[in-house]
Structure 1
Amino acid sequence: MLALEALVAEKSIVKKLRNIFLFLLGYKKMGPKDFPHQEGLAWETIHTMTHRGTHMDAPYHFGSMCGQEKAKTIEEVPLEWCFRNGLLLDFTHKKAGEWILRQEIIEQLQKIRYEIKPLDIVLIKTGCDQYWNKPAYLTAYPGLSKDALYYLLDKGVKIIGIDSYSLDRPSFIMMEEYKEKGRNHDALWPCHFAGRDREYCHIEQLAHLDKINMPTGFKICCFPMLIEKGSAGWCRVVAIIE
């Protein structure tokens, strides 16, 4: 058996050497002239992180455990969460660093006479996508309060999307509060770390929510890229308006 394996390995090496030799001589080499119209096929190689651009954060991003269960990675997010009725909440009046409060969400729902249903996909419009590719994109947005987040999750919401850099307030504001409050970790990424207690996903860095001209009556499709054991997946989010 050992002799047979050695013979197979030797033949494989000889074959590789032969192919390399033929390639160098030009017999196994292809160039533009070998393709129709002397044009080959296009492709790209991308080196980036899963939290760039429009992406969905999986429960695993918030922590390795969600309650007493192992947190879901992005490929484990249920498909039924990702194609549901949409709800658009308008907070474009909010200033940088301000909280989006529970009572403000309730008031908007009362104004449009809508009761949130389980698995509704909630979109929060801040208008901060206008700062994309500018320094203000990282600093000029409001954040959802933890109390407001829990209100949505209590209604059965599993996916929340926002058209700014993060669902939480800008990092420099959280860091300042963290130091002012004696290094109280509750000041840091409250919506993210809430995901260690309550299972949900959020989509960050959305754009063009201003194109949706109604608060309800549309569907959202937001299937993330399946990345094995990933904490997030790039996501092309589409609003389907009848």
Structure 2
Amino acid sequence: MRIIDLSSPVDADAWEPDPVIHEILTPAEGALHMSAEMKEHFGLDLDPSVLPGGELLSLDTFTLTSHTGTHVDAPSHYGTTADYGTPRHIHEMPLDWFHRPAIRLDLRDQPVGAAGVDVLEKAIARAGRTPGPYDIVLLNTGADIHLGTQKYFTDFTGLDGQATDFLLDLGVKVIGTDAFSLDAPFGDMIRRYQQTGDPAVLWPAHFAGRRREYCQIERLHNLDALPGDFGYTVSCLPVKLVGSGAGWARAVALVEE
């Protein structure tokens, strides 16, 4: 079995609207810290110099949002109430949603904005397979070429509300994208709202989750490395963050060989 990494990194050196802070306690600093903790809490003295190289263990502290890097959005991210009942947090979601056959849809020819049902129908025809119940849909928008830059957050293709419902009508429970969001960029949505006065253009893909229970995988990467548009399993198990509207995931494709 070949494993293809479909995850984008969490990198404190990359540009993020909510910057990532990465603090490192080195192995040498860890030895000094442990020595001080042992003395303070247990009254024990241990000279760090007796450790190999005077080092103990490193410790990394990251400060970041649950929507940084590749992550899964839970229904509770979309709102506090839903037509189907109380929206579930990420730790409450069934794991079998996130280890399923997948189908990749090519949207790389689409401009910045929100793609509709007609775009998805053409992409499905090109792929040669219609997504079925519980299949994971991967939207290959090509947005990950801007990963690590400000353009990644402003130049990409999302879905409109009808396109999102179209996939959910097929029984899809998890929709993934290599873009920052399953919705169109913020600026695009707000400009269209100002032009039309129609609130339905604002976050329609996310707000669909108030009517229909489903999850999104955002900020995927490397979808071009897949061997085709289907014929593999995607595993994107979210981290069990209790009470959270999202959880980080190491998304991979499992290809039988």
TM-score category of the 2 structures, normalised to the smaller one: 0.7 to 0.9
Residue aligned with 1:150, SS: helix
Does 2:238 match 1:224?
yes
Q: Extract unaligned runs of 5+ from structure 2.
A: 1-35
2:71 corresponds to which letter in structure 1?
Answer: H
Give distance in 1, aligned partners of 2:139 and 2:239. Answer: 22
Q: Alignment identity in percent?
A: 36
117, 121, 129: which one aligns with 1:102: 117
Report the number of matched residues.
219
Instruction: Map 1:180-199 to 2 at 5 A.
Output: 180-182=195-197, 184-199=198-213
Q: Which residue in 2 is equivalent to 1:41? A: 57
CA contact (8 A) 2:84 2:212 kept: no
Residues 192-238 of structure 1 show CA distances to partners (whole Å, capped at 9, x for unaligned) of: 11110011000111111111120000000000011111000011100
80, 83, 95: which one aligns with 1:79: 95
Instruction: State the Cα distance separating 1:33 from its structure 2 match.
Output: 1.7
Does 2:133 match 1:118?
yes
Residue aligned with 1:89, SS: strand
Residues 71-112 of structure 1 show CA distances to partners (whole Å, capped at 9, x for unaligned) of: 010001111101000100111111222x32212222232333
Give distance in 1, aligned partners of 2:126 and 2:142. Answer: 20
Q: Which residue in 1 is equivalent to 2:142? A: 127
Give the alignment's TM-score, normalised by structure 2.
Answer: 0.80
- RMSD of the TM alignment (CA)? 1.9
Residues 33-78 of structure 1 show CA distances to partners (whole Å, capped at 9, x for unaligned) of: 2323322112212221111111111000001122140001000111
Q: In structure 2, do the counterparts of structure 1 residues 43 and 104 end up closer, same or farther at CA, with 3 Å as the change threshold?
A: same
Residue aligned with 1:65, SS: coil
Give distance in 1, aligned partners of 2:118 and 2:133. Answer: 19
Give distance in 1, aligned partners of 2:132 and 2:201. Answer: 30
Q: In structure 2, do the counterparts of structure 1 residues 112 and 73 end up closer, same or farther at CA, with 3 Å as the change threshold?
A: same
Give the alignment's TM-score, normalised by structure 1.
Answer: 0.85
Q: Extract unaligned runs of 5+ from structure 1.
A: 1-19
1:90 corresponds to which letter in structure 2?
Answer: D
